[in-house]
């Protein structure tokens, strides 16, 4: 580094002034992801290894034939947050039955319950009608692809 001419200030004083003017890395966790962006105004900069909290929880889980599945979120939402939840059944290839998934009651910040119902299809060829009948058990190897979003 070259010599610093400071008009009567010592080199150490000038170095300290330069160091004080350079932004320092942030020492707190960055805010969570938002639906719309904002311009930041804080002087500290973000380190390259920082992470943002997600507003989403997502998992794929195998479900049993009972018809109800309670999903406990891997990371709870903040107290009072009621997430928007949905799930889709993933059935084994070749499954011809219809699988319906509905949310059972209100979600909480920590969990949600889904009801899974199986409807068997049968076609009456003479009348070209498809008849659905409820079957209590699910086919083997059904999974739920679940998503919970902070509103």
**Does the predicted TM-score (pTM) go above 0.75?**
no
For 116-146, the pLDDT digits (tens) are 888 776 655 555 666 555 565 667 788 999 9
Among 76, 151, 65, 73, smallest CA distance to 115 is for 65
Architecture of domain 56-149: Sandwich (2.60)
CB count within 10 Å of CB 141 equals 12
Triad 60, 94, 57: Cα angle to 5°? 10
For 15-56, the pLDDT digits (tens) are 888 888 888 888 887 777 766 677 777 777 777 788 877 789
Phi-psi group of 18: left, alpha or beta (phi > 0 → left; psi -120 to 50 → alpha; rest → beta): alpha
Alpha-carbon distance values, 125 to 93, 94, 133 (Å): 24, 21, 16
- Convert 82-117 to b/e letters by CB count within 10 Å (16 or more is b): ebebebebbbeeebeeebebeeeeebbeeebbbebe
Spell out the domain ranges in the chain.
56-149
Rounded to 5 degrees, φ, ψ at 18 are -65, -45
């Amino acid at each position: 580094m070259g010599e610093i001419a400071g008009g009567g200030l010592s080199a150490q004083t000038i170095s300290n002034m330069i160091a004080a003017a350079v932004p320092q890395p942030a020492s707190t966790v960055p805010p969570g992801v938002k639906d719309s962006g904002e311009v930041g105004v804080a002087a500290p900069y973000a380190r390259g290894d920082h992470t943002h909290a997600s507003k989403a929880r997502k998992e794929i889980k195998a479900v049993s034939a009972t018809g109800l599945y309670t999903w406990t979120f891997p990371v709870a939402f903040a107290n009072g947050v009621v997430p928007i939840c949905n799930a889709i059944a993933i059935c084994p290839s070749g499954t011809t039955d219809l699988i319906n998934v509905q949310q059972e009651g209100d979600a909480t910040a920590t969990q949600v319950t889904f009801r899974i119902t199986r409807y068997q299809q049968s076609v009456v060829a003479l009348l070209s009608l498809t008849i659905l009948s409820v079957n209590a058990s699910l086919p083997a190897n059904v999974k739920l692809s679940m998503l919970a979003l902070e509103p």
